[in-house]
Amino acid sequence: MQLYVDSANIADIRHAASLGIISGVTTNPSLLAKEDPSLDIRSLILDIHKTVGGHLSVEVVSTDTDGMLREADEILSWFPDATIKIPMIPAGLAAVKSLSRQEVPTNVTLIFSAAQALAANNAGATYVSLFLGRLDDVATDGLQAIEDTCEIWDVHGLESQIIAASIRHPIHVLQCAKAGAHIATVPYKVLLQMIKHPLTDSGLQSFLNDYEKMKNEKEKLSR
């Protein structure tokens, strides 16, 4: 399963990219709003794209089909391999259908059920993003939505890539990988949690301590 970082913070993205564990980046208006308001969005997006060089989803903010398509054209003028992130609403599906005919990759976002994911796939979405964490937040089984979607994809051999989004912790990532999601888009903090384990830290410290002990004993013998 591929990992994306879900962020618009260029420092975090650069660090994640330097670790070699991410294949792309997803952004959204809320993530962009957390950054310095003096930053030019176009410049920030291009900086992110240059840093990662792989998948980058950029979300539209219009809620009508024509507006979404105009925004898509603008984003594509920034860099032609952008993936256009579209909300899971009727006007969004119409935009996805139009962009699909132009072979523009799309990521349908704010999906909360397998039925919505199926509809987005049929509209021509390249990616379908299911928000399991937000489902968990309202006492609904988010993982079940991922599992149901993966099962339907397996039965019918559907083409859209399933993105597990709204990831809250490393266990979410493991559960989605076991369910069969193609991608997990993960907050920077959770990426760091994934690669850390207390036994790794204590084991490394033990190795270093033993090495220092051996080196000191050799120095004593050589005197």
* Residues classed as catalytic: 85
- SS3 of residue 125 by DSSP: coil
φ, ψ at 107 (rounded to 5°): -125, 110
CA separation, residue 40 to residues 35, 43, 74 (Å): 10, 5, 14
Taking the CA of residue 195 as centre, how many other CA atoms within 13 Å lie in the half-sphere pointing to its CB?
A: 11
Burial of 192 (0-12, 13-18, 19+ CB in 10 A): middle
DSSP 198-210: HHHHHHHHHHHHH
Contact 126, 105 (CB under 8 A): yes
Contact 132, 164 (CB under 8 A): yes
Beta-bridge partners for 123: none
82 Cβ contact partners less than 8 Å away, ≥ 6 residues apart: 49, 56, 57, 58, 75, 76, 105
φ, ψ at 115 (rounded to 5°): -65, -45
